[in-house]
Structure 1
Amino acid sequence: MTIRSLTPALSVSPQIDPADVVALAASGFRSIVCNRPDGEEAGQPTAAAIAAAAEAHGLRFVHIPVMSGGIDEGDVATMARALADLPAPVLAYCRSGARSEQLAGMASARGADGSVAHYDIIVIGGGSAGIATAASILRRRPGVSIAIVEPCADHYYQPGFTMVGGGIFAAEATRRDEAGLIPAGAEWVRGAAASFDPASDRVTLADGRVLGYRALIVCPGLKLDWDAIPGLAGALGADGVTSNYRYDLAPYTDRLVRRFRGGRALFTQPPMPIKCAGAPQKAMYLSCHRWERAGLLGQAEVQFHTATPSLFGVAAYVPALEAYIARYAVDLQLESRLVSIDGPAKVALFEQRRGDAVRRVEERFDMIHVVPPQVAPEFIASSPLAAPSGFVAVDEATLRHSVYANVFALGDVAATTNAKTAAAARKQAPVVALNALAALDGAPPVAAYDGYGSCPLTVEAGKIVLAEFGYGGKLLPTFPKWMIEGTRPSRISWLLKEKILPPVYWHGMLRGREWLAAPAPIGSGA
């Protein structure tokens, strides 16, 4: 019998036997809910048999049978009432536990009378932006009711994926359970948002649940569009095709680089916007440095294909990067976009702009690191919250929606011109926290975001060019020049990336601690 805890008060499991009830009682369960109709399969214990065993051991029992794929509003309301009335902790079971989990999730968004659950604030997305913002809000006003809508049980430290691909971090160090990161005082509504009705202050989830809010914070991230490049989705993870943009593929990057003994290595970057504009070339620099140390760089033919017209969007950092392009003898191909890939044949097709002409060029590879095009999630792009770009339309300073005064967005999904990085989300979170609380109070926004983003460009193992900039490419260094000169490679910056930023993320940012990220009041000029 495998039991999975959803909350301290509720767990789910596959089918149980009457003989299991004594162990359940001994482990502290006080109630059992059966969500399985009798007679689904031969030999299945009846609900009456489980009920008798439960009564014999002092446990409450309720039978709420539902068909797989056939849960309706009446089932949800009945489950909500049962969970409100039964002594906790409760074990709900069905054939596999999946129906019980789905029904419990839908019921959690309803009151005991089956009504729509309302919250002061709903946060769409439990990634870095969502968790940090909820934590910042609760540190300022602990009594606020917050729901975090997030379907995934895993939470990833995405800035660490580059280091995994570079053989520096273990992949496991970048993953934690989402449940352990939900701030105290917030409710995790496990599900995916499907649509918005901002005129009525409501969100509908993919499973049909409807949630009401006084303020809405939207930060589900963006979509990695692997299917936008024909042949790519099916090629990943084999034939030398990899990407640090996925948790499961970053270790494959490491293996390819370690086993490389010469040949053609291609690295690609799609059109903007993308997560961390420097990440595509970080993968290349770290790979080249490893080959250099192994005496293999001379046997490597390295190409960097970027759809952008320059190596990096902020000119101040380009000279340092160009020095590494020269050092590693990289064939830099600007305005060169990957348009298709044939993994088994080890051939990539690029569309290149050369002046007014556009040509297509095939390149053979032994390994290729690909970064996919990146777009707004469909449920955002098709919503009334979307800008023409598909991302959420917000004021760049206050991060408040351009039409709906109680809606805010931050992180990768916001239609702002800052770099889409975790560092940007860290700066945006307290701004949104303050402005959302002001909205609850009927007041205008009080804090402003300056567009800060940071991209630690790992040019070699042990050195980083620490790019820090805001709107318009304005340099916004955190540290004085005598400590870190951001436009030059620095060992201190590497120490920051390797040793300091991960614990700052897990133990600072996600807990609402705003080290070097205090929000600036509107009009302060900070």
Structure 2
Amino acid sequence: MMSMNVCTYEPDSPHMIEMLPRVVNLVVYYMALHYYQPMFTLIGGGFKKLEQASREMGSVLPKGVHWIRDSAVKFDPDNKRVHTGSGDQISYEYMVIAMGVALNFHLVPGLVEALEKDPMVCSNYSPKYVSKTSKAIHAFKEGNAIFTFPNTPVKCAGAPQKIAYLTDWHFRREGKRERAVVMYNTSLPVIFGVKKYAASLMDVVKEKGIQLNVRRNLVEVRSDKKEAVFENLDNPSEKITYQYEMLHATPPMSTPEVLRTCEKLVDQGGFLDINRNTLQHKKYPNIFGVGDCTNLPTAKTVAAISEQLRVLKKNLFLQMEGKALKPLYDGYSSCPLLVGFDKCILAEFDFDGEPLETFPFNQGKPMRFPFHLKRDFMPHLYWLALLTGYWDGPGRYRKLMHLGMGR
């Protein structure tokens, strides 16, 4: 049996895990482009172009890695094999699964048709539709501008509301805010899962006059009538229909079918079942997971993956050496919440929803500095440092910024 690590990816994942020298020599991935999807909010907001968010996949793979341009279609963890779409079987000794999540636009009746035919229906979550968002914002005349958050786990849970704030900014700049109802309909019972930042975001919502509707889940789009139908999750039999002039839809998400249907690897929700502190699979010690496809109880962001990579490197090597793994991951994740053209709340937190802030100032306050971090610095950090293995999260810098105090 060939000694190797197999890393699997799917096209809707915004992340590519760092390649581990001397361990990884095969990558199974079939898409030609690699996207930096955290930029999609800025593309939809009109501040970046789609071509700025992508690179050729071959150009971001490390030297010495063999790229198998194929898709994984079946996992066989008992026999340590991965089956590919072309019919090959790849054997492994260790495997890292980083498949991201699938975008299930098709699960909302009428949504795909609306995205294809209605110029005022858009979504920042797909490279196919993200460029429609800015066009819809500028074409808007009057009526409801509706933004949705689905009743599933999602990657970058702040993105559905960030584009609402940027749209509000554009409407004010173009003198049509008074003719618009900016509406944020979320399946969640709160605007954000971390109390400190939720309080700040509620102030933003009130200041901007955004209509917040909680426990509302998009279940149908009738583009011929310009109607969006929502269910009340506290009373599922109740359906609420809104007319829209503009609709930004965040699709339901799940793990890719090949992972979701492998019951030996996933939990009841279909996510890779790993130890939340070591990143090791709970049943198969030679399998590790990172990123959006896992059941780690934290926000699914590239910032979370940066910290997970640090833990993965250490624990994968420890496992290979037959040593005890270290429970190093504390759930760190981050979400730069753009609340306007030049203001941002830099949310950073752990498994328990406690702030885990890098800088020695109150990051719950909208400020200009985090906005420039998001727009101007983080894309370079991703391409030049995260993908090349030089960035494994802000932990060490956090200690430095806080003079060694705290975590």
Coarse TM-score class (shorter-chain normalised): over 0.9
Which residue of structure 2 aligns with residue 351 of structure 1?
A: 231
Partners of 1:209 and 1:353 in 2: how far apart? 44
SS of residue paired to 1:467: strand
2:153 pairs with one of 270, 273, 296: 273
Cα separation, partners in 2 of 1:375 and 1:309, compared to 1, 3 Å: same
Cα separation, partners in 2 of 1:495 and 1:420, compared to 1, 3 Å: same
Once the two structures are superposed, the pairs formed by residues 385-404 of structure 1 within 5 Å of their partners are: 385-404=265-284
TM-score, structure 2 as length reference? 0.93
- Are the equivalent residues in 2 in contact too, given 1:218–1:410 (CA < 8 A)? yes
Q: CA deviation at 1:437?
A: 1.9
1:258 has 2:135 as partner:
no
TM-score, structure 1 as length reference? 0.72
- Are the equivalent residues in 1 in contact too, given 2:122–2:132 (CA < 8 A)? yes
Q: CA deviation at 1:206?
A: 1.7
Count residues in correspondence: 396
2:7 pairs with one of 123, 130, 148: 123
1:513 pairs with one of 359, 366, 390: 390
- Are the equivalent residues in 1 in contact too, given 2:75–2:82 (CA < 8 A)? yes
Once the two structures are superposed, the pairs formed by residues 147-296 of structure 1 within 5 Å of their partners are: 147-239=26-118, 240-296=120-176
Partners of 1:187 and 1:480 in 2: how far apart? 43
SS of residue paired to 1:148: strand
1:380 has 2:259 as partner:
yes
Q: CA deviation at 1:517?
A: 4.3
- Are the equivalent residues in 2 in contact too, given 1:149–1:192 (CA < 8 A)? yes
- Are the equivalent residues in 2 in contact too, given 1:133–1:512 (CA < 8 A)? yes
- Are the equivalent residues in 2 in contact too, given 1:397–1:448 (CA < 8 A)? yes
Partners of 1:371 and 1:514 in 2: how far apart? 29
Letter in structure 2 aligned against 1:511: T
- Are the equivalent residues in 2 in contact too, given 1:411–1:420 (CA < 8 A)? yes
Cα separation, partners in 2 of 1:486 and 1:238, compared to 1, 3 Å: farther
- Are the equivalent residues in 1 in contact too, given 2:14–2:36 (CA < 8 A)? no
Partners of 1:220 and 1:458 in 2: how far apart? 27
Which residue of structure 2 aligns with residue 494 of structure 1?
A: 371
Q: Which structure has the bigger radius of gyration? A: 1
- Are the equivalent residues in 1 in contact too, given 2:17–2:98 (CA < 8 A)? no
1:328 pairs with one of 185, 192, 208: 208
- Are the equivalent residues in 1 in contact too, given 2:8–2:97 (CA < 8 A)? yes
CA offset digits 1:480-520 (Å, max 9, x no partner): 11xxx21110100001001110000000000000264469x
SS of residue paired to 2:322: coil
Cα separation, partners in 2 of 1:288 and 1:238, compared to 1, 3 Å: farther
Which residue of structure 2 aligns with residue 98 of structure 1?
A: none
CA offset digits 1:440-492 (Å, max 9, x no partner): 222232361111111111100000011111101011101111xxx21110100
Q: CA deviation at 1:176?
A: 0.8
Where structure 2 has 5 or more consecutive residues not aligned to the other structure, the ranges are: 397-405
Partners of 1:170 and 1:479 in 2: how far apart? 30
Q: CA deviation at 1:362?
A: 1.0
Letter in structure 2 aligned against 1:301: V
SS of residue paired to 1:184: coil
Partners of 2:143 and 2:236 in 1: how far apart? 30
SS of residue paired to 2:161: helix
Partners of 1:497 and 1:400 in 2: how far apart? 31
Which residue of structure 2 aligns with residue 465 of structure 1?
A: 345
Which residue of structure 1 aligns with residue 399 of structure 2?
A: none
CA offset digits 1:369-405 (Å, max 9, x no partner): 0001111111111112111110100000001000110
Letter in structure 1 aligned against 2:115: L
Partners of 1:411 and 1:311 in 2: how far apart? 23
Q: CA deviation at 1:353?
A: 4.1
- Are the equivalent residues in 2 in contact too, given 1:268–1:306 (CA < 8 A)? yes
Partners of 2:326 and 2:395 in 1: how far apart? 13
Q: Which has the bigger relative contact order, CA under 8 A and spacing at least 6?
A: 2
Q: CA deviation at 1:261?
A: 2.4
Partners of 1:183 and 1:230 in 2: how far apart? 41
Once the two structures are superposed, the pairs formed by residues 84-123 of structure 1 within 5 Å of their partners are: 118-123=2-7
Partners of 2:140 and 2:238 in 1: how far apart? 30
Once the two structures are superposed, the pairs formed by residues 74-85 of structure 1 within 5 Å of their partners are: none
RMSD across aligned C-alpha pairs, in angstroms? 1.9
Letter in structure 1 aligned against 2:82: V
Letter in structure 2 aligned against 1:202: R
CA offset digits 1:251-293 (Å, max 9, x no partner): 1100011122222111111124101111100010000011112
Letter in structure 2 aligned against 1:506: W
Identity, % of aligned positions: 33
Q: CA deviation at 1:357?
A: 7.5
SS of residue paired to 1:413: coil
